[in-house]
Structure 1
Amino acid sequence: MNTTTGTTTRGTPRGGDGGPDMAMRRTAVAAVAVLTLLATWGGARDTTAVAVPKAAGAAGACGVLAPGASPVAERAVGAACEQIGVWYTWGGGHGQQPGPTYGQVDPSDPDSAHDPERLGFDCSGLVRYAYARAAGGDPLPGNAYHQFHSPQVNQRFTAAQGTGPLLPGDLLAWGSGGSVHHIAIYLGAGKMVEARESGTRITVSDVRLGGDYAGAVRIAPAAAPGTFSTWGTDVWTHKEPSTTSPRVHRFPGPTTVRVECQKHAETVTAEGYTNDAWSYLPDYGAWITNIYIKGAAWLDGVRTCP
């Protein structure tokens, strides 16, 4: 979830948003096991020695568990499932770019004391990351409330409808009185993947239809960023928008690439052209000078990177 709080009551999670709805909290769930997996991200290991409750469901069960989902929704499920075992951390995942961040202490939840030491996600941070990976760009920023009411939503389901009409990738929400304090990604077969509360790790759980379950939404994000063709031979991409940053991938010849965004950075002169525009290629996790992308010096229809 996105933030954490309050008293201990069986049935509703205690974590929640690290965004504008910080006051909206969930109640704790009793620990049913100890998860000993140490989460890693980019080679970094969290060594905090804390007993970790394990929610219902096993890491091996995470995936698309029913047919009918869109390719984007299936990719979102896959991206979320890759984070199984990563720490829940209050406010995590709400950095400038989608991805894990260190969390914050929620003054109302003693279990969040170690969150500033843990690299991970809260509930909406995980949803944001999963759909950014699946669709490109950053289609679902904000907290659980913002995601549940996003313009990217194209279909809604009431709590009374249960899981019957849901497809993998749909977002399930909990809250009352117009608030939303928790959000998770449906897998199918009555299962979901969630970042639930401080002191736990991302896991697969049974869908909880009781309590303040508020319903679900289906996401239809805008089309992924356009594709372009590179030109030239032996063209390198870089870790940062600079020729002095480490090289990442070499294009031996013209290659079709997907561009997520572009920005002004280091000025480059090559092949008789001078340009300070660089494009980010999400499929390579790398930058390329716009000199080597066919099109205008500043690519038409491509947004500016944050």
Structure 2
Amino acid sequence: MSIRNIAGFVGMAGIVVGVAATTGPAAGAAVRPAVRAVAGCDVLQPGASPVAQQAVRAACSQLGVWYSWGGGHGPVPGATYGHYDGQDPASKDDGKKLGFDCSGLVRYAYYRATGRDILNGTADNQFHTGQAVARFSPAQGAGPLLPGDLLFWGRGWVHHVAIYVGAGQMVEAFQSGTHVRMTPVRLGGDYAGAVRVNGSGGGGGQPGQVKYWVNTFADAVGYREPNTGDAQGVLNKGNNYVYCKVWGAQVGSGGQYNHWWLRTDLDRTYPGKNGRGAYVSAYYLSRWGNDEARDVNGGPISTC
């Protein structure tokens, strides 16, 4: 991978293959009819949701399209002309190449599948998306993955994303000078894990999802992930809603502790951070015991 892939992607690096992409449906439109995949690139194993299968076929339809740095990030998802990334000499002609970078391709694939622009942003944004319904660590490898799952690379800052198509294969927009391609999954290096996107194209910690009401006994700092590594802001003490829970790092004091983390929207966001879909430790719940996470009525909170 080029220097640009390592340090200059601004989170948007990717792989582009295929002919020029067509624009997707208008925002809010119904799911598109099935996209015809390029021969040999298709949903290669069972189990994926219909939306995920559509996303795979949309990505496969772009095999051979140019990688173009910044491509795919126009007002409407689809191939666009890119630009020089400021580091990689191979990207100097990207302004003349109609195509995608890695996150632009992923954005387009799920736009074609859902009719909604649910993955706009960089590879790092997509890794931390509120549309995630399951996450897989690097140690889990490709075993639990299904077609349509998104694979990510980067340590601390995620710089690359690809779409799993099954049978150990993925589609990616890799770097300038190449085309969108299907290639074997790479699990070494700085592979950061995978994310499964909500098969309905909605929810995942976004407004409109089912909310569970809880009570917190103190202001709680919210983090980007279920650990204490990247503070995003503060959830105020009192009555709050949460979307779901996930197991993570232990937080506690004295004999009180909790490994559950609650996905929610913060009341106060730190400068330059994102308070939507952050994680707050269930340690701050006013009731229940160690490693318990329930709503105000004692009801269960769904896992993320």
Structure 1: how far apart are the matches of 2:195 and 2:7? 20
Contact 1:88–1:120 (8 Å) recurs in 2: yes
Contact 2:18–2:61 (8 Å) recurs in 1: no
Give structure 2 stretches of 5+ with no counterpart.
23-37, 203-304
> Using a 3 Å threshold, how does the CA distance of structure 1 residues 108 and 16 change in structure 2: closer, same or farther?
closer
Amino acid at match of 1:218: R
* Partner-residue secondary structure (3-state), 2:158: coil
Q: Is 1:201 the counterpart of 2:179 in the alignment?
A: yes
User: How big is the shift at 1:39?
Assistant: 3.5
Amino acid at match of 2:107: R
Structure 2: how far apart are the matches of 1:39 and 1:161? 34
Aligned equivalent of 1:262: none
Aligned equivalent of 2:19: 39
Aligned equivalent of 1:145: 124
Contact 1:152–1:222 (8 Å) recurs in 2: no
User: Paired residue for 1:94, among 69, 73, 77?
Assistant: 73
Aligned equivalent of 2:193: 215
User: How big is the shift at 1:136?
Assistant: 1.0
Contact 1:174–1:183 (8 Å) recurs in 2: yes
Give structure 1 stretches of 5+ with no counterpart.
8-12, 27-36, 43-58, 225-306
Contact 2:119–2:129 (8 Å) recurs in 1: yes
Aligned equivalent of 1:284: none
1:209-257 CA-partner distances (Å, limit 9, x unpaired): 0000000000005557xxxxxxxxxxxxxxxxxxxxxxxxxxxxxxxxx
Question: Which TM-score applies when normalising by structure 2?
Answer: 0.57
User: How big is the shift at 1:141?
Assistant: 0.4
Structure 2: how far apart are the matches of 1:223 and 1:60? 26
Contact 2:18–2:62 (8 Å) recurs in 1: no
Contact 2:51–2:201 (8 Å) recurs in 1: no
User: How big is the shift at 1:21?
Assistant: 3.6
Structure 1: how far apart are the matches of 2:135 and 2:18? 37
Aligned equivalent of 1:247: none
Structure 2: how far apart are the matches of 1:64 and 1:127? 15
Structure 1: how far apart are the matches of 2:154 and 2:201? 30
Contact 1:16–1:122 (8 Å) recurs in 2: no
Aligned equivalent of 2:91: 112
Q: Count how many residue pairs are aligned between Structure 1 and Structure 2.
A: 186
Contact 2:51–2:200 (8 Å) recurs in 1: no
Q: Percent identity?
A: 58
Question: Which TM-score applies when normalising by structure 1?
Answer: 0.56
Contact 2:81–2:94 (8 Å) recurs in 1: yes
* Partner-residue secondary structure (3-state), 1:94: coil
